[in-house]
Structure 1
Amino acid sequence: MPFAAPPDPALRAFLLRLSAALAGSLVPGAPAHAHVTASDPAAQQAIGVLYPDIPDPLRKVFTDIIKGIEEQLQQRVHAWPLAPEHDPNELAAGIKRHGVRVVVALGRQGLRAAAALDPALGVVVSGISSLPDAERHTGICLSPDPALLFARLRSLAPAVRRVAVIYNPRHNEWLLRLARDAARLHGIDLAPLEAFDLAGAARLYRGVFADADGRRDALWLPTDPTTVDDTTILPLVLREAWDRALPVFSSSFAHVRKGVLFALYPNHTELGRNLGNLATGLMSAYPPPRAMLPLREVHAALNLRTASHLGIATSAVVQHTFQFLYPEP
């Protein structure tokens, strides 16, 4: 099932609240004594983290998120690496023993473990791109905010006026709702096309390329297991895009090495900081609403070879705005 995006007014209010929290402000309208901060005794030892016990380099993703949480809270948190066959009773006993009030559940394994704990515990979710019953959860997903993607696209290719995206609404209808609003703000005509299987997605991609004009069109590859298959779809997309000089940008870092123009990917430490804020907020008298937000804590990656092929100038100043360049200049 897709994420359930909150209505626009609720989302805007939540973003304002989160921004206030990041700036160290109190929630507007909340009495001073109701706000819980990391330095308060109520927050000490009250937050735990559940994450999959996997080897590096993937383990570093989770340890960097934990580092960000600890930096934001200015304290160590209790973190439980979860083996596939972990003992849920032992986990529940440890959480109770340490006085944990909120858990940050990372990845699907973390979410499954959190679901088996005391329902009174607060739960903040991250480390996943899609989630059933998302309206029941609070957290930040790993799909980059479309507004950030479109802003980056316009900075590199200001002549682009139309962006095609092929997606499965079962996974990404929530994201497309955000994308439509973001596209209007950036003067982009979004052309979304729905596909429910790989064969249908392949047909739609061929149609997009048949009609595309590389001078004003671009293609966005979202995080979508149905429509952005790395084995079948991606080679087709990259071959056609190269031949037609069509800009393609992605929500996946791995695609930059393979030939897309640019991608946004998680800044895991900053993501951890914001998850720490959400966890603290759940312990306040004015907790954030249940909603999954798109990722705004991002790094950017650029393929210099693709940019050159498309005639996009990448000066030292432009390159400085990207955290990863391929190939290295």
Structure 2
Amino acid sequence: MSLVRRSQGATAQPVAFVLLMANPDPSGWRGATTDLLRVILAMAFLWVPTAAFSASLLVVYPEAPEPYREAFAQMMEGLARTTQQPLRSKTLTAKTTPEAFRDWLMDAGPDETVVLLGYQALSLYGRDPPPVRRVIVGGVSVLPSQTPLPGISLTLDPMLYLHMLHTLLPNIRRVVVYCNAQEQPWIAQVEQAALAARIEVERVIVTDAFDVARQLRMTFQTLDPKTTALWFGRNTLTLNADLLYSYVLEQTWDRGIAAFSETVLLTKYGLLFALYPNYTEVGAEIGALVRQQTHPAGLQFSRASQFAFNRRTARHLGIALRDDVIRQAKPLFPEP
């Protein structure tokens, strides 16, 4: 699939003009007026898209192995689909120098928007930002407060997790959130979302695998599974996957505790659900920013999520398996 597309307006304009003018009304003054209206409408159709989408986009993205390469390709597809603008792309490799990167940006036209995808592009830009350009960032899992540049983070809006939890278990009013010490800016955002959702949040900050295991023992002894769920941040159980995965899965199953995360693999093993980015729609969100005349400061959370669900665990927890939830789950575990 080609990710570089010409503006569809350029091909649609002549077709629209022909359709409007192909069947003129021959009945005297009324026909002349109708023909004039057709001409005006056709000229308006021709002019507006050209003014809106004449500039191209420069997209800088990294050379990456699978599955990351496919993720960047999907983001570019969503970006092209939403903006309907031609994309010029530059690929960052291990041999790309800061000077070459800066030259790419300096060569961009004055009306050209630059989209930086991935950490490497963001890092190179931060070293020596060129003169003012419209720069938008994507393809990075940083928090809105961690860069002043506008863009869309791969970190999903915490409200999406709480909404899914309420859909599956409406009686849950408290969530114990495990997060790495480095993720404290993220947990602050989680607490804001929970306040809006009227859910109590208890944060558990961990630093290493031993700390996770120690804290979990206390949590499992006091947690009420009827009212409380567990949420594992990205860099918690991965501190020692061999030890912590099996312990958490065993304890949550035996005690009937709903637990969820950002990791699809954990849902496959037995946690209730996970949310992860829909990369094509993340690209579409970036494209929507490109189309805006002014951009908000800093990154925004993405709301383009996909849903992984373990129906075996759901049955064990007594959750009714609604058809709309099953259809939404991609992937659904255990696999048919």
Query: What range describes the TM-score normalised by the shorter chain of this pair?
Result: 0.7 to 0.9
Query: Which residue is equivalent to 2:265?
Result: 254
Alignment correspondent of 1:320? 327
Superposed, 1:118-133 pairs within 5 Å as 118-130=130-142
Q: 1:186-225 CA distances to partner (integer Å, 9 max, x unpaired)?
A: 33211112223333233222211111122221101122x2
Residue 81 of structure 1: how far off its partner (Å): 1.9
Q: CA deviation at 1:325?
A: 0.8
Answering whether residue 67 of structure 2 is matched by residue 57 of structure 1, we say yes
* Cα offset, 1:323, TM superposition: 3.0
Indicate the residue corresponding to 1:153 in structure 2.
165
Deviation at residue 321 of structure 1 after TM alignment = 2.7
Take 2:145 and 2:95, find their aligned partners in 1: how far apart are those partners?
24
Distance 1:184 1:112 in 2: 34
Task: Tell me the residue number matched to 1:72.
Answer: 82
Q: Distance in 2 between matches of 1:147 and 1:305?
A: 25
Does residue 1:292 correspond to 2:299, yes or no? yes
Q: 1:43 to 1:315 in 2, by over 3 A?
A: closer
What pairs up with 1:1-329 in 2 under 5 angstroms? 39=49, 41=51, 44-99=54-109, 101-115=112-126, 116-130=128-142, 134-173=146-185, 175-223=186-234, 225-226=235-236, 228-229=238-239, 231=241, 232-281=243-292, 284=293, 287-329=294-336
Q: Would the alpha carbon gap of residues 312 and 132 (structure 1) be closer, same or farther in structure 2, given more than 3 Å must change?
A: closer
Q: Secondary structure at the match of 1:229?
A: helix
Residue 77 of structure 2 contacts residue 280 of structure 2 at CA under 8 Å; is this kept in 1? yes
Alignment-mate amino acid for residue 326 of structure 1: F
- Corresponding letter in the other structure for 2:67: P
How large is the RMSD of aligned CA atoms in angstroms? 2.5
Structure (1 or 2) with the larger CA radius of gyration: 2
Deviations 1:111-144 (A, max 9, x none): 1233345142333222222369724222222222
| C-alpha distance in structure 2 between counterparts of 1:65 and 1:275, whole Å | 8
- Per-residue CA deviations over 1:129-181 (Å, capped at 9, x if unaligned) read 236972422222222212111111111111212110022353232x3233223
> Letter of the aligned partner of 1:256 in structure 2?
T
Q: Which has the higher contact order (CA 8 A, sep 6+)?
A: 1
Do 1:197 and 1:227's aligned partners in 2 also have CA atoms closer than 8 Å? no
Q: 1:265 to 1:272 in 2, by over 3 A?
A: same
Contact 2:56–2:85 (CA under 8 A) maintained in structure 1: no
Q: Which blocks of at least 5 consecutive residues in structure 1 are unaligned?
A: 1-37
Q: Distance in 1 between matches of 2:316 and 2:101?
A: 53
1:182 is matched by which residue type in structure 2? A
Question: How many Å apart are 1:263 and its aligned residue?
Answer: 1.0
Which secondary structure does the structure 2 equivalent of 1:78 belong to? Answer: strand
Q: Name the SS of the counterpart of 2:239 in structure 1.
A: coil
Decide whether aligned partners of structure 1 residues 143 and 133 sit closer, same or farther in structure 2, where only a CA change above 3 A counts. Answer: closer
Q: Give the % identical residues.
A: 32
| Alpha-carbon distance, 1:230 to partner | 5.8
> 1:80, CA displacement in angstroms?
1.6
TM-score, normalised by the number of residues in structure 1: 0.78
- The code of the aligned residue for 1:202 comes to A
Is residue 144–residue 153 contact of structure 2 (8 Å, CA) maintained in 1?
A: no
**Separation in 2 of the partners of 1:195 and 1:119?**
41
Query: Structure 2: which amino acid aligns with 1:168?
Result: N
Q: CA deviation at 1:316?
A: 2.4
Q: Which amino acid aligns with 2:214?
A: R
- The Cα of 1:77 is off from its aligned counterpart by 1.0
Q: Distance in 1 between matches of 2:137 and 2:239?
A: 25
Amino acid at match of 2:316: H
Give the distance between the partners of 1:90 and 1:44, measured in 2 at CA: 26
Bigger mean CA deviation after superposition, 267-276 or 177-186: 177-186
> Are the equivalent residues in 1 in contact too, given 2:143–2:155 (CA < 8 A)?
no
2: CA distance, partners of 1:234 / 1:76: 45
One-letter amino acid of the structure 1 residue matched with residue 178 of structure 2: I
**Structure-1 separation of matches of 2:72 and 2:134:** 20
